[in-house]
Amino acid sequence: MGNWVFYSCLLPIRDLASRVDFAREVHQSKSLSDMIQRQLETNRAKQVSDYLENQPERFFNSLVIATYGGQPSWHAISSVKARKSDVELKDLDDDVVESVGFLVFRGDERLFALDGQHRLAGIKRACSDGLSEANADEISALVVAHKTSPKGLERTRRLFTTLNKTARPVSKGDIIALDEDDTMAICVRRLIEETEFFNNDRVAFVASNNMPTKNLISLTTIGNLYDVLKILFTQTKTELKASSAELQRIRPSDERLDAYFELAKNFFGLLNDHFEEINQFFSAENTERVVDRHRGAHIGSVLFRPVGLETISKVIARLSASMPLEAAVTLASRLPRSLSSLPYRGLMWGPSTKTIVNTHNVTVREVLLHMLGFSKISEPVLLVRYRKALGNVNAKLPKKIIH
C-alpha cells in the first residue's frame, strides 16, 4: 500500500508476547524511548489482560509490527488446490496464488509494535500472569520492514504517528447503541425498549449532555442517562457496585445484568415517587406541557437539565454511603430544585445569560451535601470556595435543612 510492502500474518499469542517489543526503536534518544514506555504503564494493560482471559467473544484489530535485522524470508505456496470442484483456482493469476505462504524469521530479528502497543502490553501481562491454554489465541498482525538509517527511522516514525493520530476512539453514541459488553449501555437500551420511563421520545437520542434547545418532550439525553447509570452502578453503595472499567469492558452474566437493570428501574421509580416534577413527567401521556413547565428560559427544575440530574444523582450516591438508597432519595428530595434558588443561581444557572453554567458543578454538589450535613469539605473551606465561585465576598452558604 503506497510505498510500503506489508505481510498480513497470524502469530501465536505467546510468540507475540515474547518476541515483539514496544516502539522504543523509533527513537535513538533514550529519554524519548522512556517516554513511550511511561505512556504504556497505565491500567490499560490490566484491562486488556482481563479482556483476553474473561471475554469469550474477544477480538482485536491487527497489530502493526516493524521488523529489522536478521534475515526474514518469504516462502510462497505455489500450488493451491480447491476442495470443491466449483472453485476455479486455475483462473487465479500468479500474484494472487503467491501471496499465500509463510514469513520465516531466523530468530535474531528485532520486532516492535507500531500500532497496538497497549494491546501488546495487555498480551504480555496476560502471558506473564499465566494465560490459560484455552485463551492462547493466534493474533493477526501486519508486518512491515524497518531500517535503522536516519531516513529509515524518519519513515517509521511517520508511520507510527500516522497510525496513532488517525485512530479514533469509538464514540459514546456508538457505545450506547451497539456495545454488548458495557453494562451501562445495555441498561440504557433496556430502559428505552422495556420500560415506560424513557420509551418513545421521553429521552433525546443525543450522545452528549447537551439537550437541544428545540427539544420540548424529553427529560434528558441518552448520553446523560448513560452517565446517571454510571454514577448509580459505580458510586452508589449497593451489592452491585463495581469499577467503571469492569462494567465497560467485561459483560456480566445475564443474571447479574438483570440485577443492574432492576437497580436502574428501582432508581427511577424512587425518583418518580419522591420528586413531584419527575412524577409529572413519567405519568404524562403528552410530556410537552410538563417539559415546558420545568425547562426553558423561564428557568424551571434542575432535574430537567442533564447537568442537574447528574448532580442530584451524585448527591444521592454520596448519601447512600450512610443510608439505604430509598432513604438517600427521600432525603435528597428535600433539597431545593428550582434553578432560581440557591445554590444553583449564579453557579449552575446564569441569571443574566439565562443559560446553564458548567464550571462549578463540584461546588454545587458539595453545597447541596452541606445543606444536608454530608459534605466532606469543612464549612470554612466550602464558604471560601462558594464566595469565589459566585464572585461575592459577602455571600453566605445556604441554610442547612433540618432532618
- Are 234 and 247 contacting, i.e. CB atoms less than 8 angstroms apart? yes
The residue ranking higher by pLDDT, 155 or 63, is 63
Quick check: 29 pLDDT over 60? no
CB atoms within 10 A of CB 379: 12
* pLDDT above 90 as % of the chain: 50
Quick check: 186 pLDDT over 90? yes
CA dihedral 305, 310, 316, 319 (to 10 degrees): -130
Q: Which grid cell sits at 303?
A: 432535574
Residue 217 pLDDT: 94
pLDDT in tens, 278-306: 999 999 999 999 999 999 878 899 999 99
Q: Distance between CA atoms of 211 and 206, rounded to whole angstroms?
A: 7
Residue 140 pLDDT: 93
pLDDT in tens, 85-108: 655 666 667 777 777 888 888 888
DSSP E strand boundaries for 297-347: 299-300
pLDDT in tens, 53-72: 888 888 888 999 888 888 88
- Are 61 and 167 contacting, i.e. CB atoms less than 8 angstroms apart? no
- Whole-prediction pTM: 0.75
Mean per-residue pLDDT, 185-214: 90
Quick check: 187 pLDDT over 60? yes
